[in-house]
Amino acid sequence: MTETEFTGEEAVETATLPLDAWHRAKGGRMVEFAGYWMPIQYEGIMAEHLWTRENAGLFDVSHMGQLAISGDDVVAALEALVPGDLAALKPGRMRYSLLLAEDGGILDDLMITNEGDQFGIVVNGAVKWDDIAHLREYLPDDINLNHNEDYGLLALQGPKAVDALARLVPEAAGLVFMQTARANWNGHAIGLSRSGYTGEDGFEISLPNEALVAFADALCAMDEVKPIGLGARDSLRLEAGLPLYGHDLDEAIDPIEGDLGFAISKRRREEGGFPGAARILGHLEDGPPRKRVGLIVDGKLPVREGAKLFDGEEEVGVVTSGGFAPSVGAPIAMGYVPTGLSAPGTAIAAEVRGKRVPCTVAAMPFVPHRYVRKQGG
């Protein structure tokens, strides 16, 4: 029987990614995610999570959208839609940014790279079609937007990622965090960036669909590399304090509420000119009414997405992500609280199955980032 999901009146079939058979052969347990069949786990989330923190984990993130935008005045066109300083983004450099709705709400979070002749943008799989529609609507007609569906995206994350990847692509070792390069592997043109979604050192590698299996096999043949599923990807990013779009961020939340003020570059703060600038700059100035915070849970009971947060008897917020954190050894969560309750150390309670679970607001990340910011460093 064909698995389908119903969206409105039409039935949309869950799609397969180029590595589908590869995941299944590796023992991946496949689940529907963002419209695709993807591996939630292979040997187990806990083992995969800890492996990535110690060694190198290979993630298939080919569901994400890889876009390229070019044209005269492309910088101005993009800066009208996102709050990053793209004019100052040098060729070969990548920056985290946000696609903003007119009221300053977050439509998606994304990575933008200055590729010299164009800007490369990687967007979340779950909203990529909405992003493309938004970009087509708001970008001037003389700006080109290309959705590259001929390329897949892999992430190799963990302290041993650099050694493993450099055996296949020596250029990898020369990059620092948020730096990118074009390279060649077995005759295939590939893109590399030293970036990721785990808090560890690591890389994201864009390569032609027809090269994915051979590349994944070449990496997994190495002792330090194992394939890692979506389950560990989620627990790793949660420990790293990184928000997940559609859960920790959405259209009702602006970047300051989302604690992503770092993504509003200095020049853009001074000049404005991005969607929702009045609201966002106002929140920067006066503080937002609510804020995304980390929560450390007292005890062992996991506090998950949707749990209500209480200050005494008053309901004050909600958990947007949460679960057991393998590297912390305790449950942790992320959620929204009034700014007055957002200082680390503040006591707050989460409601789970009618019980109040004590939590403490905590600085994020929960597990220190280990990005490589300079060579030899």
- Does residue 304 interact with other proteins by CB under 8 A? yes
Half-sphere exposure of 277 (CA within 13 A, CB side): 16
Q: What is the DSSP string of 318-356?
A: EEEEEEEETTTTEEEEEEEEEGGG-STT-EEEEEETTEE
Q: How far is the CB of 305 from other proteins (least distance, A)?
A: 10
Q: How far is the CB of 45 from other proteins (least distance, A)?
A: 4
Q: How far is the CB of 12 from other proteins (least distance, A)?
A: 24
Q: How far is the CB of 231 from other proteins (least distance, A)?
A: 5
Q: Which of 28, 331, 335, 348 binds other proteins (CB under 8 A)?
A: 331
Half-sphere exposure of 374 (CA within 13 A, CB side): 1
- Residue count of the chain: 377
> Would you give the DSSP letter of residue 253?
-
- Does residue 198 interact with other proteins by CB under 8 A? no
- Does residue 191 interact with other proteins by CB under 8 A? no
Binding mask 44-73 for other proteins (x = CB under 8 A): xxxx-x------------------------
Q: How far is the CB of 302 from other proteins (least distance, A)?
A: 5
Half-sphere exposure of 377 (CA within 13 A, CB side): 11
Non-local CB neighbours of 307 within 8 Å, separated by 6+ positions: 318, 319, 322, 333, 335, 350, 351, 352, 357
- Listed ranges 43-51, 100-108, 161-169, 252-260: which one lies at the site for other proteins (CB under 8 A): 43-51
Q: How far is the CB of 47 from other proteins (least distance, A)?
A: 8
Closer CB to other proteins, 44 or 159, in the complex: 44
Measured N-to-C along each axis, helices 212-220 and 161-168 cross at an angle, to the nearest 10 degrees, of 130
CA 255 to chain centre: 15
- Does residue 323 interact with other proteins by CB under 8 A? yes
Q: How far is the CB of 323 from other proteins (least distance, A)?
A: 6
- Does residue 324 interact with other proteins by CB under 8 A? yes
How would you classify the pairing of strands 225-227 and 56-60? parallel
Q: Among residues 19, 110, 16, 108, which one has the least CA distance to residue 59?
A: 19
Measured distance between the N- and C-terminal CA atoms of the chain, rounded to whole angstroms? 54
Q: How far is the CB of 277 from other proteins (least distance, A)?
A: 39
Q: How many CB atoms neighbour CB 336 within 10 A?
A: 23
User: Vertex 206, ends 97 and 147: CA angle to 5°?
Assistant: 65
Q: What is the edge-to-edge ordering of all strands in the sheet holding 188-193?
A: 180-185, 188-193, 202-208, 151-157, 56-60, 225-227
Closer CB to other proteins, 233 or 283, in the complex: 233
Q: How many residues bind to other proteins according to rule CB under 8 A?
A: 19
Binding mask 206-235 for other proteins (x = CB under 8 A): -------------------------x--xx
- Does residue 74 interact with other proteins by CB under 8 A? no
| Sites for other proteins among residues 348-377 (CB under 8 A) | 353
- Listed ranges 194-202, 215-223, 287-295, 298-306: which one lies at the site for other proteins (CB under 8 A): 298-306
Q: Which of 37, 41, 194, 215 binds other proteins (CB under 8 A)?
A: 41
Closer CB to other proteins, 234 or 254, in the complex: 234
Q: How far is the CB of 41 from other proteins (least distance, A)?
A: 6
Q: How far is the CB of 256 from other proteins (least distance, A)?
A: 31
CA distances 198 to 155, 225, 327, 350, 366, Å, are 10, 15, 12, 26, 12
Q: Among residues 332, 333, 296, 336, which one has the least CA distance to residue 316?
A: 336
Phi, psi of 89 (to 5 degrees): -80, 115
Distance CA 331, CA 297 (A): 6
- Does residue 246 interact with other proteins by CB under 8 A? no
Closer CB to other proteins, 40 or 213, in the complex: 40
Q: Which of 34, 40, 80, 220 binds other proteins (CB under 8 A)?
A: 40
- Listed ranges 36-44, 174-182, 187-195, 335-343: which one lies at the site for other proteins (CB under 8 A): 36-44
What residues line the site for other proteins (CB under 8 A)? 40-41, 44-47, 49, 231, 234-235, 300-302, 304, 323-324, 326, 331, 353
